[in-house]
Chains A and B, each alone.
Chain A
């Protein structure tokens, strides 16, 4: 009988512990969705943060347009997007937008015998390839830039994104800037009317297609090119220098960023000046509601982003992303303090 009582007591205590721990678990689980561009670094941050604090943050890479839609619909706690929304539009939607990290978009190709960084392209030729004016790898436009390379008489298959994508937005924003004919006929967008090519889903999908199709060219966030070992292309930047994608060349481009005078942090970093600058660089953004309903949850969420700014820089550099500078992070914290409210009281102090 005594044994029975003992067991009963232990069970009651266990049940009580379980009952009290369930609500705390529920409160410290955050969900986000959006751009696949920053997903590799978000995954690292979320894993590390979970180990340190027990707070669980989930992020689904569904594309930037999807991220904006989901946060507007309120199905996630935060949205991710690489295509910044303009200041007035952000306010109109009742959202706050702030940059998390800066990364580079790189053209990747699959041509037999070609290694990473060997193929050189100018902005005009890159636009020509993606708009279907240049169809073969051994056309003069390409061979004249690469006198030492043996380029095959193979058709070029363009691989682009099938869904609304911030990576596409950054990439087409660049082509739009450097090529008047691209500006005329196609333009900038998360989805654009591609004249040629095949569509793949997400950054991983594009990397996968490029790996599989001989003679293909696509564009991905740099981490995906490294992870999947797809050879990237060397590009001519605004200063007329051929540069390789690397953390240094992304940093050089990001150094031009003037966040202080960007309304709602709307800032585009493509085609930046500087000898070292990689030409296709962009920031990726987080979107949260200005009016939060749950103070505890809102605070947990901001604590996570704060931790990313404070301690995430090294991990970001390891994954070839450029961290947001300290002074910009302070600006963002000020924005939180000024604008994020629960029933009119500030969440971040």
Chain B
């Protein structure tokens, strides 16, 4: 419909070229396309709310706080899934954020251009690997390594902490967190690298000009200039870790329990959905899974909002600096 209205002015050669009309059409066309995003999101949200209604009516607020997941008795609680989602993502971010910023700094500020191109290419390649490959590698190679080397080592030296107690199974929360770290690392690195490359050379040159060391130039000029972009990169990685499904399902151990030890099996919202959605036969079971999905949706939304707020606040602070 709209395309035909776009063509009409050019179809009449004698008409005076009206500038405002194509502009209006262009405006509406782009707005309509953007509206698709809103419609899809609202549609998903609406469906989740509609389908999870039964679970929330049945269990109320305690759905979020109980960790019993008993399909036989029809008792469901999201606590273990929420816990697992946050903990595995937390482990991933604790490892991935510093590591990827360090790699990005190396690539932009330290490495020779040829080395930088080579490693940069490898990072992009890592980002393109499908998550199922990470899952297979995680189960067949990495979990075995964790069981025979990493977990016994941690248990021996840090076994006093409840975090590192229990039998080394190879699969579990820690392994899932580490796999997630490997998965989000290339994302954060690639974007941070691009952000750091956009720092105007004149700023860095002046930092060196006043006698800064390389560290000082990076710390006070490059990272400070690019911090908004870096926060954006971190949140992109965060979103990926939060919703990652297949790789986590392979290595997390899939059990609906909250355990203080990172060695023990757990589950995330996404992995529970992947495992159980196809098989849920009772209406209340299905509804509880929809409720889980809604919780994940809300967690995503909450962190998005926080990120947005943070970025705008930083913008304001920077404006105040000047």
User: What is the number of contacts between chain A and chain B, taking CB atoms within 8 Å?
Assistant: 90
CB distance from A80 to the nearest CB of B (A): 13
List, in ascending order, chain B residues with CB within 8 A of A187's CB.
72-73
A213-B147 in contact given A63-B278, A164-B279 (Cβ < 8 Å)? yes
Among B68, B71, B255, B278, which residue has its beta carbon within 8 angstroms of that of A198? B255
Does A214 sit within 8 A of B, measured CB to CB?
yes
Q: In chain A, residues 191-223, which have Cβ atoms closer than 8 Å to a Cβ of chain B?
A: 191-194, 197-201, 208-209, 212-216
Is A163 a contact partner of B265 (Cβ separation < 8 A)? no
Is A191 a contact partner of B279 (Cβ separation < 8 A)? yes
List, in ascending order, chain B residues with CB within 8 A of A214's CB.
147
List, in ascending order, chain A residues with CB within 8 A of B169's CB.
157, 198, 213, 216
List, in ascending order, chain B residues with CB within 8 A of A155's CB.
166-167
Interface hit among A41-49, A64-72, A260-268: A64-72
CB distance from B14 to the nearest CB of A (A): 52
Q: In chain B, residues 244-259, which have Cβ atoms closer than 8 Å to a Cβ of chain A?
A: 249, 253-256
A62-B71 in contact given A199-B265, A201-B249 (Cβ < 8 Å)? no
- Cα–Cα, bound, A164→B169 (Å): 23
Q: In chain B, residues 63-104, which have Cβ atoms closer than 8 Å to a Cβ of chain A?
A: 68-73
- Cα–Cα, bound, A201→B143 (Å): 16
Is B278 a contact partner of A209 (Cβ separation < 8 A)? no
List, in ascending order, chain B residues with CB within 8 A of A212's CB.
139, 143-144, 147, 170
Beta-carbon nearest neighbor of A165 in chain B: B279
Is B279 a contact partner of A69 (Cβ separation < 8 A)? yes
List, in ascending order, chain A residues with CB within 8 A of B68's CB.
193
Is B276 a contact partner of A209 (Cβ separation < 8 A)? no
- Cα–Cα, bound, A198→B71 (Å): 17
List, in ascending order, chain B residues with CB within 8 A of A116's CB.
none
List, in ascending order, chain B residues with CB within 8 A of A64's CB.
279
Is A193 a contact partner of B70 (Cβ separation < 8 A)? yes
Is A199 a contact partner of B281 (Cβ separation < 8 A)? no
List, in ascending order, chain B residues with CB within 8 A of A289's CB.
none
Beta-carbon nearest neighbor of B143 in chain A: A212
Is A189 a contact partner of B255 (Cβ separation < 8 A)? no
User: Count of B residues near A, CB < 8 Å?
Assistant: 29
Is A215 a contact partner of B254 (Cβ separation < 8 A)? no
Does A154 sit within 8 A of B, measured CB to CB?
yes
Q: In chain A, residues 285-329, which have Cβ atoms closer than 8 Å to a Cβ of chain B?
A: none
Most chain B beta-carbon contacts within 10 A, residue among A187, A188, A212: A212
List, in ascending order, chain A residues with CB within 8 A of B265's CB.
197-199
Is A198 a contact partner of B281 (Cβ separation < 8 A)? no
Among B71, B167, B170, B275, which residue has its beta carbon within 8 angstroms of that of A162? B275
A209-B279 in contact given A189-B72, A192-B72, A194-B255 (Cβ < 8 Å)? no
CB distance from B135 to the nearest CB of A (A): 11
- Cα–Cα, bound, A157→B261 (Å): 15
Give the interface residue-count category, chain A: 20 to 34
CB distance from B288 to the nearest CB of A (A): 12
CB distance from A285 to the nearest CB of B (A): 15
Does A190 sit within 8 A of B, measured CB to CB?
yes
Beta-carbon nearest neighbor of B70 in chain A: A193
List, in ascending order, chain B residues with CB within 8 A of A199's CB.
253-255, 265, 267, 275
Beta-carbon nearest neighbor of A216 in chain B: B169
Is B254 a contact partner of A62 (Cβ separation < 8 A)? no
- Cα–Cα, bound, A162→B248 (Å): 13
- Cα–Cα, bound, A314→B92 (Å): 52
Does B280 sit within 8 A of A, measured CB to CB?
yes
Does B171 sit within 8 A of A, measured CB to CB?
yes
- Cα–Cα, bound, A236→B71 (Å): 30
- CB-defined interface of B213-240 with A at 8 Å, one 1/0 digit per residue? 0000000000000000000000000000
CB distance from A184 to the nearest CB of B (A): 12
Most chain A beta-carbon contacts within 10 A, residue among B70, B144, B166: B70
Is B69 a contact partner of A193 (Cβ separation < 8 A)? yes
Is B254 a contact partner of A198 (Cβ separation < 8 A)? yes
- Cα–Cα, bound, A154→B168 (Å): 10
Is B279 a contact partner of A198 (Cβ separation < 8 A)? no
Is A65 a contact partner of B279 (Cβ separation < 8 A)? yes
CB distance from B221 to the nearest CB of A (A): 48
- Cα–Cα, bound, A164→B279 (Å): 6
- Cα–Cα, bound, A113→B39 (Å): 61
List, in ascending order, chain A residues with CB within 8 A of B144's CB.
212
Most chain B beta-carbon contacts within 10 A, residue among A192, A193, A208: A193
List, in ascending order, chain B residues with CB within 8 A of A68's CB.
281
- Cα–Cα, bound, A188→B169 (Å): 27
- CB-defined interface of B38-74 with A at 8 Å, one 1/0 digit per residue? 0000000000000000000000000000001111110
Among B70, B254, B279, which residue has its beta carbon within 8 angstroms of that of A66? B279
List, in ascending order, chain A residues with CB within 8 A of B171's CB.
198, 209, 213
A164-B72 in contact given A197-B255, A212-B143 (Cβ < 8 Å)? no
Beta-carbon nearest neighbor of A215 in chain B: B167
CB distance from B33 to the nearest CB of A (A): 33
Beta-carbon nearest neighbor of A172 in chain B: B72
- Cα–Cα, bound, A190→B72 (Å): 9
Is A191 a contact partner of B278 (Cβ separation < 8 A)? no
Q: In chain B, residues 178-227, which have Cβ atoms closer than 8 Å to a Cβ of chain A?
A: none
CB distance from B18 to the nearest CB of A (A): 54
- Given A162-B275, A192-B71, A198-B172: 17 more A-B contacts, CB < 8 Å: A65-B279, A68-B281, A69-B278, A162-B276, A163-B275, A164-B71, A164-B279, A186-B72, A187-B73, A191-B72, A193-B68, A193-B70, A193-B256, A198-B254, A200-B254, A201-B249, A212-B170
Query: 7 closest Cβ contacts across the A-B interface?
Result: A164-B279, A199-B254, A65-B279, A198-B253, A162-B254, A155-B167, A198-B265
Could you show 26 A-B contacts with beta carbons less than 8 Å apart? A65-B279, A65-B280, A66-B278, A66-B279, A68-B281, A69-B281, A155-B167, A162-B249, A164-B278, A190-B71, A191-B72, A191-B276, A192-B70, A193-B68, A193-B71, A198-B172, A198-B253, A198-B265, A199-B253, A199-B267, A201-B249, A201-B275, A209-B171, A212-B139, A212-B143, A213-B147
Interface residues of A, Cβ cutoff 8 Å to B: 62-66, 68-69, 154-155, 157, 162-164, 186-194, 197-201, 208-209, 212-216
